[in-house]
Structure formats: structure tokens, C-alpha cells
């Protein structure tokens, strides 16, 4: 985190870096409890280049509710640093008033109450209005999509991403990079990419057999905007074949490959690039580390870890922009590029309040056309919830509590596991749960719910392994998800310890007994990365369970004890 | 997140296997280093060792080494039952002193490259490569 005062102290090349955030504007307006589209979009156009960043939309065509995390721990150098600050501490860091629209958009407290007042967020037709407004003031602004776009909903699943492709094309992006897109399968990704009216980027997408850059993706693209030569270098999710099923795209290899990133920066600088932008799906901490290792990156547009930061984080001469997820925000970054270098920036994280921002009618029509064939399925009410269903948090969320309960109940298991993904909108207390809601938190191409036997020892190995993906102090060993969610079992985790020493006190909740390393337990879970996993689709398991329950009861989950923070 | 014992062992990920392997190594990293260097001091730097931070497939991990001015570069997988992987020897007419290969890693471990320079000195680089279950990315 960097304060506004710090911005002024950062020097860049010979000239002072002038930074400003438009965030304060709507923060103040919030206190007056009136919010208009003009205020949300207000921006004093600056410099000669504008970047528009959207990322991690996860298939959300329509406005949704999305509660930000209460627990998002940083370890090592990231401890207590943005984006690892939540709630009141986050509001304090940015001077956000309690109960304000910004508090609602960026923090978790009082979410259900504030949602009643401020309504839904996102929707690609509202995003279109924001983008068009930026283009009205800067017609040649670059629109860059950080990926995780063609995944995450009922319609996206059933059209294999085509709904998102069709709608995104109406927004006319200039470039895109990727993560969950690859879980559509290598063939499907190539089929879509071949027809995209914009460039598909990934300097770290390699041919797995030859360990050479894959031909289907360009490492970068040069643009000329506002008289400035701009290079946009793509960085796809580095841990694609590890965090997601490798067998779905065996022809590709990924990795961070910061030596190749440096080579690409040098190459585009050699071609005369005056501004070098990295469109990244690394995750925030990985981007921060990369910014310190690769020289010559002016801007990193950061995706994957779903952080929404109202001000850029500055590392050396690089600014890192985090634009949230699920369609909730659009980032605008105006830059002053002169004499071959970035002299200053102005930035605004624009929250897409969908009741305030007028939808773009043309885009609404395209969205509705994608959904029309499926409306009966989407809108069917499966049950109700008595409390807020949300996903985000390092260790658990009420959506995954529900999914874990469903797995134990429907699959007759001792213990259940739900992957620590960060996508999936929230459902408010008292609301209906529709089939669309269930798909929003479960939709994927490898969603079968397995049931298998695991020893206590092996369960611990899994927990230790996943914990190290999250709490390794070196960001390059972090994969950017949250802890695997566990049902039916409690445990204690010391996040400050190394792998193999973090997890203790594993307890079977139904008996209160400690987990026996040599004993075998029935474990149900979903989203296995192994090929040939058998079982019903997770959304069917959850739907069956909710139908039986009628009204889902949400209770506090105290089964994970966290220390070492 | 579903792993049978067989899958786990095939991936080289089993907890038991992981714990036992380094201990049962019949040729240690120290012995291999000693055989290559003859006990000479080994400096840091001067060797580029490129390997993934996290292996996509522990059975075939791409590793590249380069050391300008080297006459030989040895690669060691310090956590494998036999840490010896390969030694590349470069003749006087070698166009470049760089090489790439793929290696199998039994589990998370340091991969080490030691270069023998023309003047008989040695230098090394090391990188941890993690072999993980994965499967829970956001």
C-alpha cells in the first residue's frame, strides 16, 4: 500500500512521477448518500494514453452481489501489505467511511445490510457504459481483458464459453490473456482464439513438447495510441497445469518465465516501445515480485487473486493495478508518456454499481440473447437461504460450507473437500437460491463429485500441500487460490510455519476425535485434477441437497483455528 | 483433489516416499559434488540455471543451464535417490556453453548446477523446484 503522499515522493527517471487516484471523489460523495453515474464515471482526463482493465469476470453477464473477503492473510514480506488487509483496516488505509458505497464495494462488513441499499454490482452491459464513457473522453483507449472470462456460469458451461465470447466482442477489447479458459480444453480454446477479433496474449504459454513459445498465442502486441508506441505483453496464469487439470490442455506448458518476460520487454523496447504494459494473470503477490525482478515494465494490470485496490501499488518504477473480479470493477489508468517514458499516471477503480450505471441497451440485448435459450433452467428456484452465502476468505465461506455439507450428506462421507477457488457471487439472506446461483459457484468442466477413501496421513498431506500454495513466503511458489475447504473435520493451521508443520489438531467433527494417520476415512469432494474422476456433477449434488433442506441455514464456521498471522 | 495411493506414487508425491527418498539415497549430493570438483571451493554465480518454480509434471521437468567460459556443467537433483543427472562437457569448439534437458524429480527439492571453468575453478547455482499435488487454484 502506498499513501497519496508517497506517490508524490516516488521519482521516475528524471521527472517526478505524478500519481493521483480518483477514488477520493466517490468516497466523499458516499457520505452524502447520493451516487450518480456522472460521479462514478467522473475523471479528469490526463496525459496522452488511457488503459481500461477488466479481469476475472468469471462468466458474470448480469449484475450480482459479491462480498469481499474478511480473511486474506499475507505471509513473509506481504504480511500486512496490500492486498492482505481487509475490513476496517482496509477502510482506514484508504480513508473510506463506514457504510459508504466504497465500504460496500471493497470490504465485507455489514454486507447484507449495505447490499439492500446499494444493490447489485457488475453486469457487462453496465461495464459497456463505463467503457464507452472512457472512450468518449479518450477514443483510442486500450481495453485489456486479464482473463478468467470464459468460465463460471450456467450459460458459459453449456455454450463452452461462447456466451462470454459473443458479449465481450461487443465491448471490443484490444487484447486478452488467460487462465480458466484453458479448462474448456486445448482444442476449444484454439477454436475460439482463431476467430477472436483481438489478440490472444501469453509470453509464458509454451509448447509442452518443445518448450518453445506456443504459436497460438502472441507474447505481445505493439499498439500506437495518442502518438505513443505501447507494447502490451501477456502473462497467462503460470500454474495452469498444476492448479487445473493438465490433461485438458496437454499441449501447453506455462510457468512464470520471468527470464522470457525480460527478453520480451527488451525486445519491445528495442522496437521503440515507449510504454510497456503487462496484462497479467499472475496474481498480485507474484506480480509484485515480478515487478522487482523484470526491469522496464511500466504498468502491470494484475488479475487472478481477485483483489480490488483503489490505488496502484508502486514497485520501483512499475505501477500495479488490481481490478477485482466478477464484473464488479473497471479500472481506468491515464498515463503521461513523453520522451520515451512514463512520466505520471492517474487512476480510478470504478465500481460498477448496477443500479446507478445505465446499462448499454445493445449489450443488454446481446446478453439476453445468450441467456434466452436457458431461462427456464437458470431461473428455477431450488430453495432459500436464511443467511448470506458467500465464498471469499482464506479458509472458508458459507457457500463452501453449504457445498461441503451437501457432499457429506448426499455422498455419505466422513469428510468433504471443496476447492479454494475465489470466484462465485454471493446470495443475500432470505433470497431464493436458483439453479443459476448454484452454477455460479460450481460451474466447471471437471466438476464431478468423487467419493474415495483416504488415510488420515494423506488428508494431512493434501492440507499441507495446499497450504503451501497459499502461505509459502516466496510468492513464486503461490498459486493464488485459497485453502481447500474442509467439511466434517476441523484443524489448526500455523500460517507462519514451513510446509509439513502448518497443520495440526485435525479433528473429526462428528466424533470429536483426533484424525488417526493410519485410519481410513470416506472423503467426498469435487474438482479433482485427475483424469477419469467419477461421480455426479457437483451442481446436481448441491441442488439435491438444497431441495431436501428447503431453506438453507447458515451458521458460523469455527472449525479452522488460525495462528501465526 | 482425488488421489489414490497408486496415482500418488506415480507422481512421486507420496508422503512416505517423500520423506524416505533423500535418506535412502545411495549417492549423496556431497559425494557427487566431491567427485566433480575434487574438493575445490565452489563459488556462487556465473551459472544460469533455468527451471520452473513449480513442476508441471515431476516426471519430466525442463532444466536449462548456461555458463560462459565453462568446460563442463554438472546438474544434480539433490532430492532424488541418485542425485546425479548429467554432466555436459564442452570442447574448445563448442559454439555455446549451454544445454537443456528434462529430468525426473522425486519430490520438492533443490536442483543444482555446478560449472567447471577453463581455469579449473568451480561455480554453482541452485533452484528449488516444487513438486505439488495442486488442484485448487483460484
Ordered alpha helix ranges (H), A318-455: 361-371, 375-379, 398-411, 435-442
pLDDT of residue B133: 76
A235 contact B CB<8A: no
**A330 with A348: CB under 8 angstroms?**
no
Which residues of chain A does B130 touch, with a Cβ-Cβ cutoff of 8 Å?
Answer: 468, 477
**pLDDT of B11:** 39
Q: Does B126 touch chain A (CB under 8 A)?
A: no
Fill in the DSSP letter of residue A180: G
Q: Are residues A442 and A416 in the same domain?
A: yes
Q: Which of residues 522-541 of A touch B (CB under 8 A)?
A: 525-530, 533
Partner residue opposite A462 with nearest CB, options B1, B130, B137: B1
Same domain? For A54 and A83 the reply is yes
DSSP A317: T
Question: What pLDDT does residue A483 have?
Answer: 96
Q: In total, how many domains does chain A have?
A: 2
Percent of chain B with pLDDT over 90: 70
**DSSP H helices in A485-529:** none
Cell of A129: 457504459
pLDDT of residue B18: 40
Q: Read off the pLDDT of residues B120-134 as tens digits, 9 standing for 90 and up.
A: 999 999 999 999 876
Both A353 and A425 in a single domain?
A: no
The verdict on A195 and A338 lying in the same domain is: yes
CA distance A218 to A215: 7
B69 close to A (CB below 8 A): no
Cell numbers representing residue A83 in the block: 492486498
User: For chain A, what percent of residues have pLDDT higher than 70?
Assistant: 94
Query: Which one of A344, A369, A394 terminates a domain?
Result: A369
A361 plus A388 within the same structural domain: no
Whole-number pLDDT of residue A28:
42
Residues A381 and A509 in one domain: yes
Do A256 and A300 meet the contact criterion of CB atoms below 8 Å apart?
no
Asked whether residue B1 carries a pLDDT value surpassing 50, the answer given is no
Contact A422, A306 (CB under 8 A): yes
Answer yes or no: is A2 within a domain: no
pLDDT exceeds cutoff 90 at B6? no
Strand partners, A233: A220, A278
| Helix axes A361-371 and A162-171, enclosed angle (nearest 10) | 170
**A204 is a domain residue:** yes
**How does the average pLDDT of chain A come out, rounded?**
93
The answer as to whether A502 is a domain residue is: yes
Q: Of the residues A369, A400, A430, which one is the last residue of a structural domain?
A: A369
> Do A355 and A405 fall into the same domain?
no
Instruction: Give the end of a domain, one of A314, A349, A369.
Output: A369
Tell me the CATH number at A230: 3.60.21.10
Neighbours of A516 (CB within 10 A): 13
- pLDDT of A443 over the 60 cut: yes
For residue A35, name the pLDDT band (cuts at 50, 70, 90): confident
Residue B134: the pLDDT is 65
The size of the A-B interface in CB pairs under 8 A is 118
- Given an 8 Å threshold on Cβ–Cβ distance, is B100 in contact with A480? no
CB A398 within 8 A of CB A388: yes
Within-domain flag for A13: no
For residue A480, what pLDDT is reported? 87
- The residue-averaged pLDDT of B86-109 equals 93
Alpha-carbon gap, residue A99 to A268, rounded angstroms = 46
- DSSP-derived 3-state class of residue A92: helix
> Nearest residue of B to residue A243 by CA position?
B135
Is A8 contained in some domain? no
Q: Which secondary-structure segment (H or E) carries A24?
A: helix A23-31
Q: What is the pLDDT of residues A105-145, one digit of tens each?
A: 999 999 999 999 899 999 999 999 999 999 999 999 999 99
Q: Quote the domain boundaries for residue A423.
A: 377-563
Mean pLDDT of B62-74: 96
> What's the half-sphere exposure (Cβ side, CA atoms, 13 Å) at A526?
30
* Residue A202, in any domain of the structure: yes
Residue A69 CA from chain centroid, whole number: 12
What is the predicted pLDDT for the residue at B26? 53
Range B5-129 has CATH code 2.60.40.2470: yes
Do A265 and A403 belong to one domain?
A: no
Residue A6 lies in a domain: no
Which CATH number does the domain housing residue A421 bear?
A: 3.90.780.10
Question: Does the reported pTM lie above 0.80?
Answer: yes
Residue A238: its chain B contacts at CB < 8 A?
Answer: 53
pLDDT the model gives residue B136: 55
Q: What is the pLDDT of residues A208-247, one digit of tens each?
A: 999 999 999 999 999 999 999 999 999 999 999 999 999 9
Would you tell me the crossing angle of helices A124-137 and A162-171 to the nearest 10 degrees? 20
Q: What is the pLDDT of residues A320-356, one digit of tens each?
A: 999 999 999 999 999 999 998 999 999 999 999 999 9
pLDDT digits (tens, 9 = 90+) for A64-116: 999 999 999 999 999 999 999 999 999 999 999 999 999 999 999 999 999 99
CB–CB contact A528 B136 (8 Å)? no
Nearest to B2 among A244, A480, A525 (CB): A525
In a domain? residue A16: no
Write out the three cell numbers for B33.
Answer: 559434488
- The domain ranges of chain B are 5-129
- pLDDT category at A25 given cuts 50, 70, 90 is very low
- State yes or no: pLDDT of A365 exceeds 80: yes
What pLDDT sits at residue A200?
98
**pLDDT (0 to 100) of residue A27:** 44
Look at residue B65 and give its three-state secondary structure.
Answer: strand
State residue A18's pLDDT score: 43
Reading the block at residue A228, the C-alpha cell is: 505513443
Alpha-carbon gap, residue A192 to A151, rounded angstroms? 13
Residue A526 CB contacts under 8 Å (≥ 6 apart), including other chains? A403, A407, A417, A418, A419, A442, A447, A448, A449, A450, A535, A538, A541, B1
Q: Same structural domain for residues A360 and A451?
A: no
The dihedral built from the CA positions of residue A519, A521, A526 and A528, taken in this order, carries a sign that is positive
For the beta carbon of residue A271, count every other beta carbon within 10 angstroms. Answer: 11
Sequence-distant (≥ 6) Cβ neighbours of residue B110 within 8 angstroms: B78, B79, B126, B127, B128, B129
Q: Find residue A232's DSSP bridge partners.
A: A221, A277
- A398 and A359 housed in the same domain: no
Q: What per-residue confidence (pLDDT) applies to B132?
A: 86
Residue whose grid cell is 485448487:
B136
Within this chain, do residues A339 and A410 fall inside the same structural domain, yes or no?
no
Q: Return the pLDDT at A353.
A: 96
Q: How far is the alpha carbon of A181 from chain B, nearest alpha carbon, in Å?
A: 13
The answer to whether the bond into A83 is cis (omega within 30° of 0) is: yes
Does B60 lie at the interface with A, CB-CB under 8 angstroms?
no
For an interface test with B, the pick among A242, A281, A392, A472 (most B C-beta atoms closer than 10 Å) comes out as A242
Identify whether residues A185 and A262 lie together within a single domain: yes
Amino acid at each position: 500500500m502506498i499513501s497519496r503522499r508517497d506517490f508524490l515522493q516516488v521519482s521516475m527517471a528524471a521527472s517526478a512521477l505524478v500519481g493521483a487516484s480518483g477514488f477520493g471523489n466517490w468516497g466523499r460523495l458516499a457520505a452524502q448518500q447520493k451516487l450518480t453515474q456522472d460521479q462514478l464515471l467522473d475523471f479528469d482526463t490526463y496525459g496522452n494514453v488511457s488503459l481500461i482493465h477488466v479481469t476475472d469476470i468469471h462468466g458474470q453477464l448480469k449484475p450480482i452481489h459479491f462480498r469481499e473477503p474478511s480473511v486474506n492473510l499475507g505471509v513473509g514480506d506481504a504480511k500486512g501489505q496490500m492486498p492482505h488487509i481487509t475490513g476496517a483496516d482496509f477502510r482506514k488505509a484508504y480513508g473510506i467511511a463506514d457504510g459508504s458505497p466504497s465500504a460496500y464495494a471493497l470490504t465485507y462488513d455489514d454486507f447484507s445490510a449495505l447490499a439492500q441499499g446499494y444493490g447489485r454490482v457488475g453486469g457487462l452491459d453496465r461495464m459497456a457504459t463505463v467503457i464507452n464513457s472512457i472512450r468518449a473522453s479518450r477514443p483510442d483507449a486500450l481495453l485489456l481483458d486479464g482473463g478468467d472470462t470464459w468460465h463460471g456460469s450456467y450459460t458459459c458451461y453449456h455454450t463452452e464459453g461462447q456466451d462470454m465470447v459473443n458479449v465481450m466482442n461487443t465491448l471490443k477489447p484490444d487484447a486478452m490473456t488467460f487462465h480458466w479458459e484453458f479448462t474448456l480444453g486445448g482444442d476449444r480454446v484454439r477454436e475460439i482464439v482463431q476467430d477472436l477479433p483481438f489478440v490472444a496474449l501469453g509470453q509464458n504459454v509454451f509448447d509442452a513438447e518443445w518448450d518453445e513459445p506456443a504459436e497460438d498465442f502472441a507474447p505481445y502486441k505493439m499498439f500506437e495510441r495518442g502518438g505513443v508506441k505501447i507494447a502490451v505483453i501477456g502473462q497467462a496464469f503460470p500454474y495452469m497445469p498444476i492448479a487445473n487439470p493438465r490433461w485438458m490442455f496437454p499441449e501447453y506448458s506455462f510457468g512464470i518465465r520471468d527470464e522470457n518476460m525480460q527478453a520480451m520487454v527488451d525486445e519491445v523496447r528495442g522496437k521503440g516501445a515507449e510504454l510497456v504494459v503487462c496484462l497479467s494473470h499472475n496474481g498480485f503477490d507474484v506480480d509484485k515480485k515480478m515487478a522487482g525482478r523484470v526491469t522496464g515494465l511500466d504498468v502491470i494490470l494484475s488479475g487472478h487473486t481477485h483483489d480490488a485496490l483503489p490505488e496502484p501499488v508502486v514497485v520501483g518504477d512499475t505501477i500495479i493495478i488490481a481490478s477485482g473480479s466478477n464484473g464488479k470493477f473497471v479500472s481506468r489508468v491515464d498515463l503521461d508518456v513523453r520522451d520515451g517514458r512514463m512520466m505520471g499516471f492517474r487512476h480510478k477503480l470504478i465500481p460498477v454499481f448496477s443500479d446507478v450505471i445505465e446499462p448499454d441497451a445493445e449489450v443488454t440485448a446481446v446478453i439476453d440473447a445468450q441467456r434466452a435459450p436457458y431461462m427456464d433452467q437458470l431461473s428455477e428456484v431450488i430453495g432459500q437461504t436464511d443467511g448470506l452465502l458467500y465464498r471469499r476468505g482464506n479458509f472458508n465461506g458459507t457457500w463452501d460450507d453449504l457445498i461441503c455439507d451437501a457432499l457429506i450428506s448426499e455422498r455419505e462421507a466422513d469428510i468433504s473437500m471443496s476447492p479454494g477457488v475465489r470466484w462465485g457471487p454471493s446470495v443475500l439472506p432470505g433470497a431464493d437460491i436458483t439453479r443459476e446461483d448454484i452454477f455460479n459457484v460450481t460451474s466447471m468442466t471437471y466438476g464431478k463429485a468423487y467419493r474415495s477413501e483416504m488415510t488420515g496421513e494423506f488428508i494431512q498431506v493434501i492440507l499441507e500441500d495446499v497450504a503451501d500454495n497459499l502461505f509459502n513466503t516466496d510468492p513464486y511458489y503461490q498459486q493464488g487460490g485459497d485453502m481447500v475447504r474442509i467439511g466434517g473435520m476441523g484443524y489448526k493451521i500455523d500460517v507462519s510455519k514451513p510446509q509439513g508443520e502448518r497443520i495440526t489438531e485435525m479433528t473429526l467433527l462428528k466424533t470429536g476425535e483426533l484424525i488417526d494417520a493410519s485410519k481410513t476415512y470416506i472423503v467426498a469432494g469435487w474438482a479433482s485434477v485427475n483424469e477419469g474422476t467419477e461421480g455426479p456433477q457437483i451442481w446436481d449434488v448441491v441442488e439435491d441437497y438444497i431441495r431436501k433442506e428447503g431453506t438453507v441455514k447458515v451458521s458460523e464456521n469455527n472449525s479452522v483455528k488460525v495462528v501465526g498471522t | 483433489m482425488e488421489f489414490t495411493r497408486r496415482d500418488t506414487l506415480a507422481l512421486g508425491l507420496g508422503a512416505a516416499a517423500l520423506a524416505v527418498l533423500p535418506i535412502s539415497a545411495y549417492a549423496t549430493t556431497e559425494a557427487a559434488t566431491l567427485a566433480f570438483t575434487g574438493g575445490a571451493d565452489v563459488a556462487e554465480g556465473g551459472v544460469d540455471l533455468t527451471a520452473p518454480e513449480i513442476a508441471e509434471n515431476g516426471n519430466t521437468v525442463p532444466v536449462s543451464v548456461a555458463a560462459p567460459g565453462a568446460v563442463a556443467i554438472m546438474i544434480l537433483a539433490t532430492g532424488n535417490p541418485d542425485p546425479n543427472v548429467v554432466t555436459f562437457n564442452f570442447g574448445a569448439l563448442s559454439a555455446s556453453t549451454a544445454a537443456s534437458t528434462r529430468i525426473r524429480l522425486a519430490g520438492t527439492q533443490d536442483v543444482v548446477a555446478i560449472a567447471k571453468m577453463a581455469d579449473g575453478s568451480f561455480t554453482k547455482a541452485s533452484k528449488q523446484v516444487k513438486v505439488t499435488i495442486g488442484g485448487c487454484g483460484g
